[in-house]
A and B are shown apart, each in its own frame.
Chain A
């Protein structure tokens, strides 16, 4: 890249990770649109790209782009935090290409082979057919190798350089993140045992290790963007770790209500998962409060007031603080109590929560990190919003919020008609699906999905052009 201001190879590698993540983010939205169209027009691509295939690609690319952006974020912040170049960066770069190649092959197989015969070869080479982690076994092994290489780089760098609180949290978190994947790599005939361990990957990623990860990223971002005091930020980070792991690990019980596991998970799951939303905004509010106080003091002394040095990234970070609380916290709590979940489990309610939570908790902050990388790559001191960045953030937020509300309404119809009234049978299911309110909700979801995609196009335009924009202070 011309005019590249990056001297650190680790940061260079981070930009590779971010670029691939942005492409896969686009794929996620495209296949999401295909699936949304199929709810409205069931004949669309029938027996070509069926709903199941579109959905696998939708949710797998979601996980993949986020993992890529997470790895990128770590490679980005490591030199800043530790004060040294990342150890083993050559292997890091090699593993990047291995990872990309594996993902491309897996996607092509999903698209063009789709299903296989009911034997082990399908599990090894085509699909494992387990939601979110459908990737075949050979790819699982590849992912574990790549993840271990990444964790090794992080550990060696953290131990050699300055080990800040943020780096310490990331080290502990990422080893758990990589290790948990192993829980999803075996086959069993017992579907209850299957789903028990499957949640160890899905839940302990999304509701524990990923949450702690974004806590660490938020801490880094606040220090970088508004000069927040490390002492305060890291204190909150430790409190968040305590609260997130303290609630999230046993909060797993809310997935063990109905899969054949014992009744005591009702109480454990209800109690701990209800506590999960608590920590999600605390750090952010404290830092903003401190910042306002500091600005007031500087103002009173007649000093130049500190500014946000990256407006678009900061906007996405603010969205994360509230999106996480609303999507993961509020929408999660809606249906986390077993008395409610008996009827909402496996309905569009879950889908509404999933959309807002993944967006609010993860997509937002990872997009923010991408903006920080653009700022660094182009040597920008104070990065401003552009028209495209404002359109992007507005359309994507309105789009996702709209989809969430639409899916929530669809979920209500399903709960009331299919579940409460009709007792969850095949006929009951379709009575709910054919209801007018359900159908309207699905129309709105598609429309809002298109709005989100339009926002994504603005985001990509901004990613490609904002670095050279003359409006920024250099």
Chain B
């Protein structure tokens, strides 16, 4: 065939496909190295030295966490503040905290949390997003969920709810009883508190800042 254009040549497109795929894959792998370094979990020393990590160490459970607007970044970021008691203690050692987080993360998978809830926005949409659940005003001192359980702290209220969810129906749609033990519940609350400290680039927006004003109410 004379005068065959390169644009209708299969060899040309085959090579193009191979090069484009190779280039994209190499770029992805390179970015993965960079990202992996940035999302590795911090340490207790980082927290004590005020080093900001995208994913702080497990001992973040010893600190107060808030979600505040950063004018520099143009969205909200988790801010790790002064010490705060978690189940009566603010001196959880690195080992103890890591153990709690490990238990909680395992629990989140063993109970299929992600198949009703979203975690970091991923999962199912049958129940509220848990990314910043720890910071939800409903669990706070004035919150309806804390009041419902009759507990005095956020962590105790959450742990109580997790162990007996169908005793505390908030809506017609309820969380089922998943056989969560007291120890597992403490681990899960530690996992939730840790997750709320992860820098999610401002997701979700305006969390816990808006009140009222639905359907003209």
Q: Could you list which residues of chain A lie within 8 angstroms of chain B, going by C-beta atoms?
A: 35, 38-39, 42-43, 46-47, 50-53, 55-56, 114-120, 122-123, 126-131, 134, 165, 168, 187-196, 231, 234-235, 238-239, 241-243, 245-246, 249-250, 252, 255-266, 268, 342-343, 345-348, 350-351, 414, 417, 419-431, 433-435
Do A127 and B112 have beta carbons less than 8 Å apart? yes
Select from chain B the residue with minimum beta-carbon distance to A46: B176
Given A131-B115, A249-B25; A38-B120 close (CB under 8 Å): no
Do B14 and A342 have beta carbons less than 8 Å apart? no
Contacting A at CB under 8 A, from B122-181, are 122-129, 131-133, 136-138, 144-145, 166, 170-174, 176-179, 181
C-alpha spacing A242/B24, complex, angstroms: 10
Given A189-B41, A193-B39, A239-B13; A425-B125 close (CB under 8 Å): no
Cβ–Cβ < 8 Å partners of B132 in chain A: 424
Interface centre among B54, B112, B213 (most CB of A within 10 A): B112
A277: shortest Cβ distance to chain B, in Å? Answer: 17
B168: shortest Cβ distance to chain A, in Å? Answer: 12
Q: 19 A-B residue contacts at CB 8 Å?
A: A42-B172, A118-B104, A126-B110, A129-B110, A131-B115, A191-B108, A191-B195, A238-B14, A239-B13, A246-B21, A249-B24, A258-B200, A261-B35, A264-B31, A351-B125, A419-B204, A424-B129, A425-B138, A430-B171
Do A193 and B36 have beta carbons less than 8 Å apart? yes
Select from chain B the residue with minimum beta-carbon distance to A436: B215
Do B28 and A342 have beta carbons less than 8 Å apart? no
A362: shortest Cβ distance to chain B, in Å? Answer: 20
Q: How many A-B residue pairs have CB under 8 A?
A: 268
Cβ–Cβ < 8 Å partners of B138 in chain A: 425-427
A165: shortest Cβ distance to chain B, in Å? Answer: 7
Given A51-B115, A131-B114, A249-B25; A425-B137 close (CB under 8 Å): yes
B2 within 8 A of A: no
Select from chain B the residue with minimum beta-carbon distance to A194: B105
Select from chain B the residue with minimum beta-carbon distance to A247: B24
- Classify chain B's interface size: 35 or more
Cβ–Cβ < 8 Å partners of A350 in chain B: 125
Do A426 and B133 have beta carbons less than 8 Å apart? yes
B174: shortest Cβ distance to chain A, in Å? Answer: 7
Select from chain A the residue with minimum beta-carbon distance to B169: A42
C-alpha spacing A266/B24, complex, angstroms: 17
C-alpha spacing A118/B183, complex, angstroms: 10
Interface centre among A189, A193, A351 (most CB of B within 10 A): A189
B187: shortest Cβ distance to chain A, in Å? Answer: 6
Do B207 and A425 have beta carbons less than 8 Å apart? yes
Cβ–Cβ < 8 Å partners of A52 in chain B: 112, 115-116, 124, 126, 176
B36: shortest Cβ distance to chain A, in Å? Answer: 7
Cβ–Cβ < 8 Å partners of B38 in chain A: 261-262
Select from chain A the residue with minimum beta-carbon distance to B177: A47
C-beta contact mask, B174-217 vs A, less than 8 Å → 1, else 0?
10111101001001100100010011111111111110011100
C-alpha spacing A230/B18, complex, angstroms: 20
Do B119 and A191 have beta carbons less than 8 Å apart? yes
Given A42-B174, A242-B20, A423-B210; A346-B125 close (CB under 8 Å): yes
The 10 closest A-B CB pairs, nearest first, are A129-B109, A118-B107, A258-B203, A238-B13, A346-B121, A424-B204, A52-B115, A249-B24, A122-B110, A429-B128
**The one of B127, B166, B187, B203 that contacts A47, using a Cβ cutoff of 8 Å:** B166
C-alpha spacing A342/B108, complex, angstroms: 24
B52 within 8 A of A: no
B83 within 8 A of A: no
A41: shortest Cβ distance to chain B, in Å? Answer: 9
Select from chain B the residue with minimum beta-carbon distance to A168: B14
Cβ–Cβ < 8 Å partners of B55 in chain A: 190, 192-193, 260
Cβ–Cβ < 8 Å partners of B10 in chain A: 165, 231, 234-235, 238
**The one of B13, B24, B166, B198 that contacts A260, using a Cβ cutoff of 8 Å:** B198
C-alpha spacing A34/B213, complex, angstroms: 34
Cβ–Cβ < 8 Å partners of B133 in chain A: 426
B82 within 8 A of A: no
C-alpha spacing A239/B213, complex, angstroms: 52
Given A131-B122, A346-B123; A257-B203 close (CB under 8 Å): yes
